[in-house]
Structure 1
Amino acid sequence: MKLADLAALIPNAIIEGDPEIEITGISNHSRRVAPGELFVCIPGIPGYQEDRHPYAGDAVQAGAAAVVAERKVEVNAPVILVKDARHALAVFSAHLNGHPSRELKLIGVTGTNGKTTTAHMIEAILRYAGHKTGLMGNIGTKVGDTMFQTDINTQEPPVLQANLRRMADVDCAYAIMEVTSQGLDAGRVLGCNFRTAVLTNVTQDHLDYHGTMENYIAAKGLFFSRLGNGFTGDPATGKIAVLNADDPASAVFRKLTAAHVLTYGIREEADVRAEDIRLTAWGTSFRAVTYKGTADMQLGMVGTFNVYNALAAITAALAEGLPLATIRDGLVSLPGVPGRMEVINEGQPFLALVDYAHTPDGLDNVLSAVRTFAEKKVITVFGCGGDRDRTKRPVMGGIAAEYSDYVVVTSDNPRSENPGRILADIEEGLREKQYPTSRYEIVEDRAAAIARAVEMAEPGDVIVIAGKGHETYQITNHGTIHFDDREVTREAIRSLK
């Protein structure tokens, strides 16, 4: 495609240099750009992403055929000057990949907690119903039956649009995507033609990025407002917003969207509700009362929060016209999601669970669920990430104190921050709850902390290792190392024998 054809997509773009040069692809990473591609100099996000303008020359040396920039850059290649490089990145990425989301039914899931589980539930239901699916999220990207790792949750537009193109090219009918607040704020999903937008919940998280809860909610709101302002007149192609009736933020999003709204919940009136909820250590059952009938549901997952996740998935599936019986059986086909209340079983006489809970609400959900079925002690191992929202650390310490019989405070991903400072912030929450010092300890080394919990566990106890879930790495000020809570827990349990 010629550079001029791309520039024409943005009315006020200015080309400096040869407009007839051919463009074969697009990138916003100077070390990954391929010969013939367009390099986009996105502006920086302080503390999260570098300004790419200083790397324009490196990108051209690596073979970039042209550059997109918001200001003058000295390069030996044509330049498209634009007012908003992030917007241009999304526009060009979608166009160069042939607007693949137009060929798919794209379902997005946003929310503080539960995105991954809900997305996997929706995908499991659709696959059970006979549809070929794609999936993008925290655990990786799945195209048909092939799963591969990705570096961030909601991908940058060049990667995201290329993945959607792969899905469309192998005839996926649906793509299910986790949509983060940062991804929305940074314009990563601009140009994605979502059929359905699903909300799980909105609780405290990412305040280091957004600054305030108001900004955080506003970022989430972009998802629902961008569903569009028109009506197709065809239920099969109309836009749907699936909202949690029990979450106050849903009232904000309802006003922001012109899409048809379907609601789910437990406490409030909703289109899809759960009744007769029964929680056990090995699964959950409930009756789904919906606008399409009633059915008994069985989950291989524990906790009321997973009932909410299931209700969101059920509602999204009903919007696609699937029968309740198919939805029920599709949910049963999903035994669990990696790193989400994942049972580590090495034949030990106590229960060991690994979960991704890394927010106050997430930790509260997990520990309150465990408290309902724990026969004896609840032993919690957790930490908080460095270079992230400090205000949630004492809050999470207080939550651990509320539900745990013993707490081992440890490192999560300290990144460039001093781990001791993070641990002290968490300990402040334990002290505020007047949690006895005899019932907690601070073990900075995460492997040693897990081993300590395993060592003290007795028959009937439950160990919860929270914060990292499926992650297979730990980020410290020395770099990134391999670390998998599940592997470390297994090794610690085996060492007992």
Structure 2
Amino acid sequence: MVTLQDILYQVKIRSVNGNLQTAVNGLQLDSRKVNSGDCFIAVKGVHQDGQQFIEKAIAAGATSIVSETFPEQSRDGITYVQVENASEAAGLMANHFYGEPSHQLQLVGVTGTNGKTTVATLLYKLFTALGYDCGLLSTVQNRIAGQVYEATHTTPDAISINALLRQMVDAGCRFAFMEVSSHAIHQRRIAGLQFAGGVFTNITHDHLDYHETFDEYIRVKKMFFDQLPPQAFAISNLDDKRGQVMLQNTVANAYYYSLRSVAEFKGKILENGLTGLIMTINDQEVHFRLIGEFNAYNLLAVFGVASCMREDRQEVLRCLSVLTGAEGRFDYVITPREHIMGIVDYAHTPDALENVLKTIRELRKGDEKVITVVGCGGDRDKAKRPVMAQIACDYSDKAIFTADNPRSEDPAEILKDMEAGLNTAGRKKYLSIADRREAIRTALTLAGPGDIILIAGKGHEKYQEIKGVRSHFDDKEELENFIGLLDK
């Protein structure tokens, strides 16, 4: 039997009303999921405050409540624990409730604006190829020793993380790789986890709707490395302007990877084409199936992690050479007759979009046109909308602005925000088509033999959210459907 006292170790408690020997059958952050004997942790979220649902949780069977303030009225038989930070308490309590699973794994966290999913996925694939049972927590999917589970967030809530890590331990996993988002760091969802290492990919303007300033966004990302233990490793991208800043105060063992400077993990691109990358990593020449400079950085990060975990470098490079990336990351198809190349990519930040379009430019062999279909999400950072629109026009022969996930916003207003950023040259290159399906169809209609179409922003996502309703929508599926019609 697990008691409340057992799992409150390390939690900063202000006061207690009730019996700490109360049994805890489960932990819940959502009052709708509470069962008899559960402990409800009332966390203040971005949109809702868990304090409002304490009575509902008790009515559903909760026997203990953890919150930052006590409710005005207490109920007999219910134990109330007031804590300094409910989000942090949730992480620490979940860690103890599930038997400290991160301590029984080699857990590696990957953070940064772009590349998190690809690096985490490549690590999972690499260590699986090396013969280990592994776990993966990513934007695209969660995996436990080969079994696939749907992912709903880049980084799940603290209770879900620990429950998944427990499953990984029970399944015999030795390693786990997870994306660590800035939201998760700031909301203390990773509190209580023991990381064997951390990776920084890069940082560019994103999530400013949440963090408000770029400096705050940087500070939050840096917190992850500041909190790593001395026995861990910290690997950072030396070519990023903030790469060294990220590791400034870490007590972990610090390493860097680079394409442009001297570093522990040094790479050089020899050739970049449709057949993949040929590059040297620490003076060893290797052909990889992945395409683009951004993937060269991803490969260096993965090689760095494997080196820090003392895997044989030759075997690591051999396995990496045949791996493919994550779904929806430079995911492409080519039409059989016209040889039109259609690329689906998750690029949803200015930097990611520019990187993908620069890579496409390098793939061009002649005067092939580049047509970009791109939108911006609703209820998110508005500052990047005009920037992304101009980037699409700068690097494309034709840009089609369309809906991404407009959520509660009017797609027409989002398109206006994008159009506002265009210079005179950009205004001659774009179309605005709010219907995403129609925008993709139009791009294919405009394309000629050998042309390249980029469909950016949603990548692996299988839905589109409009006015709070999620409907099935898959960019790659749409692309393949229209390609099938073209080739008939």
TM-score band by shorter chain is over 0.9
Is 1:59 aligned with 2:48? Answer: no
Which has the larger displacement, 123-132 or 101-110? 123-132
Residue 202 of structure 2 is matched in structure 1 by: 201
* Cα distance in 1, alignment partners of residues 42 and 423 from structure 2: 47
* Cα distance in 2, alignment partners of residues 171 and 226 from structure 1: 27
* Cα distance in 2, alignment partners of residues 363 and 152 from structure 1: 21
Q: Could you tell me whether the CA contact under 8 Å between 1:298 and 1:328 is conserved in 2?
A: no
Query: How far has the Cα of 1:346 moved from its partner?
Result: 5.1
Which has the larger displacement, 217-226 or 27-36? 27-36
Residue type at the aligned position of 1:467: G
Q: Deviations over 1:291-346 (max 9, x none)?
A: xxx32222212110000010111111111112222111221232232000101345
| Number of positions where the alignment pairs a residue of Structure 1 with one of Structure 2 | 480
What is the RMSD computed on CA atoms of the aligned residues? 1.5
Secondary structure class of the residue paired with 2:286: strand
Q: Could you tell me whether the CA contact under 8 Å between 1:295 and 1:324 is conserved in 2?
A: no
Residue type at the aligned position of 1:440: Y
Q: Could you tell me whether the CA contact under 8 Å between 1:56 and 1:75 is conserved in 2?
A: no
Residue 320 of structure 1 is matched in structure 2 by: 309
Q: Deviations over 1:363-408 (max 9, x none)?
A: 0000010011124000000000111111111111111111100111
1:352 corresponds, among 342, 350, 369, to: 342
* Cα distance in 1, alignment partners of residues 198 and 9 from structure 2: 30
Residue 341 of structure 1 is matched in structure 2 by: 330
Which has the larger displacement, 273-282 or 158-167? 273-282
Structure 1 segment 44-443 matched on structure 2, within 5 A: 44-45=45-46, 49-73=47-71, 74=73, 76=75, 77-228=78-229, 230=230, 238-289=231-282, 294-345=283-334, 347-349=336-338, 350-374=340-364, 375=366, 376-429=368-421, 431-432=422-423, 434-437=425-428, 439-443=429-433
Q: Could you tell me whether the CA contact under 8 Å between 2:376 and 2:404 is conserved in 1?
A: yes
* Cα distance in 1, alignment partners of residues 414 and 243 from structure 2: 33
Q: Deviations over 1:48-73 (max 9, x none)?
A: x3111101111122222211111122
Q: Could you tell me whether the CA contact under 8 Å between 2:14 and 2:82 is conserved in 1?
A: yes
Change (3 A) 1:271 1:8: closer
Query: How far has the Cα of 1:8 moved from its partner?
Result: 5.2
Change (3 A) 1:19 1:364: same
1:454 corresponds, among 444, 449, 453, to: 444
Secondary structure class of the residue paired with 2:247: helix
Residue 233 of structure 1 is matched in structure 2 by: none
Secondary structure class of the residue paired with 2:222: helix
* Cα distance in 2, alignment partners of residues 91 and 28 from structure 1: 14
Residue type at the aligned position of 2:351: D
Query: How far has the Cα of 1:116 moved from its partner?
Result: 0.6
Q: Could you tell me whether the CA contact under 8 Å between 1:401 and 1:433 is conserved in 2?
A: no
Residue type at the aligned position of 1:195: A
Residue type at the aligned position of 1:163: L
Residue type at the aligned position of 2:5: A
Secondary structure class of the residue paired with 2:196: strand
Structure 1 spans left out of the alignment, 5+ residues? 231-237
Residue type at the aligned position of 2:284: A
Change (3 A) 1:63 1:325: same
* Cα distance in 1, alignment partners of residues 427 and 167 from structure 2: 55
Residue type at the aligned position of 1:314: F
Residue type at the aligned position of 2:342: A
* Cα distance in 1, alignment partners of residues 170 and 265 from structure 2: 34
Residue type at the aligned position of 1:494: G
Residue type at the aligned position of 2:297: Y
Residue type at the aligned position of 1:172: C
Q: Could you tell me whether the CA contact under 8 Å between 2:121 and 2:138 is conserved in 1?
A: no
* Cα distance in 2, alignment partners of residues 394 and 329 from structure 1: 42
Residue type at the aligned position of 2:163: A
Secondary structure class of the residue paired with 1:194: coil
Residue 42 of structure 1 is matched in structure 2 by: 43
Residue 31 of structure 2 is matched in structure 1 by: 30
Q: Could you tell me whether the CA contact under 8 Å between 1:124 and 1:333 is conserved in 2?
A: no
* Cα distance in 1, alignment partners of residues 184 and 437 from structure 2: 32
Q: Could you tell me whether the CA contact under 8 Å between 1:355 and 1:466 is conserved in 2?
A: yes
* Cα distance in 2, alignment partners of residues 35 and 96 from structure 1: 16
Secondary structure class of the residue paired with 1:256: coil
Residue 457 of structure 2 is matched in structure 1 by: 467
Q: Deviations over 1:78-131 (max 9, x none)?
A: 211112111111111100001101000011100000001111112222122211
Residue type at the aligned position of 1:67: I
Residue type at the aligned position of 1:109: V
Q: TM-score, normalised by structure 2?
A: 0.95
* Cα distance in 2, alignment partners of residues 41 and 276 from structure 1: 50
Secondary structure class of the residue paired with 1:386: coil
* Cα distance in 2, alignment partners of residues 34 and 173 from structure 1: 32
